[in-house]
Structure 1
C-alpha cells in the first residue's frame, strides 16, 4: 500500500515531496494566498421597504384604534371613512411591496445558483494545485509549472468576476 508521502507530486523547483501540501492544508496552516475560491452569493436586502411599509400600517392601525375610542366623541364620519380607506391602501401596498421584495430575493438566489458551475470548476482546479512550503510556491502537478499570485487571485475570484460581468451586461441592456 502506497503512503500519502509517495502520492504527493514533486515540487518543480526543489524536486522534493517532503514539504508539498495540498492547497487546503496550506490554507489551514495560514498561507492566505492559498485560500479557496469564493462561493458566489447575492445580498439582496428587503428590510428597508418592509420596515417602511410596516411603519405606515402601524400608524394607520394606531389611528384606527384611536378612532374606535373617538367614535363616542363624535369623530366625523367622512374622516373615519378616509382613515379606513388609507389604512386598506397601506395594507395592500405593504403586501405588494413584501411580494416584490421576496421576488427580488428569489431572483438573487436563482442568479447565484446559475453561478455554481463556474464556482465548482474553479474549486476543482484549486483542489488540483499543490503548495511547496520550502520554496513558497503554488504549482500545478499536471503541467509541472508554477502558478503565479495573479493566477491564484483570478482563480479565487472567478465566480465573483462572472457576477460582475453579468451585472455590467444587464446594465447595458
Structure 2
C-alpha cells in the first residue's frame, strides 16, 4: 500500500480519537435552572421559580428517558472510539502487509459497514426521538463512508466531524 495513504488515514483516525466523543460534562457542575456563561460559570441571574415556570416542567425528560439517553450516547461514543482504534490498527497492518489502496478500501468498507450497523442498533434502543434521529443520522453518515469511492478520503474529511457533533448534541 502507499505509505502516504496509510499515514493520512492513521492521522484522521488519531484526530477522531483525540477529539473523543463524550458528553461535554457541562451539566455535571451546574445547578439545574441556574443560567451559566459560555465558559460554564454561573451568571448570577435569578433561577426561575418552578411554580410559575410551567414550560420547563413539560419539556423535562423523564428519569427513565434521561437514563436511556445517557446509556445510548455512551454506547455510541464507545462504538466510535472502538471503531476508530480498529481502523487505525487496520491501517498499520495495511502498511506492514503493503496492501494496495483497493485492498485497504475494501477493509475500510467492511469495518465502516459493521460500525454503521452497530450504531443503528443503538438508535433502535433510544427512547428520546431527538437522540434516535441523531444516532440514525450518524449511522447513515457512516454508511455513506462505507459506500464512498475512497473510504480513506472520507475518513479524513467526514468521519472526523462525527465525534464533535456527538459531543455537542448527544445528551439529555
Bigger strand fraction:
1
TM-score by length of 1: 0.34
TM-score by length of 2: 0.34
Larger-Rg structure: 1
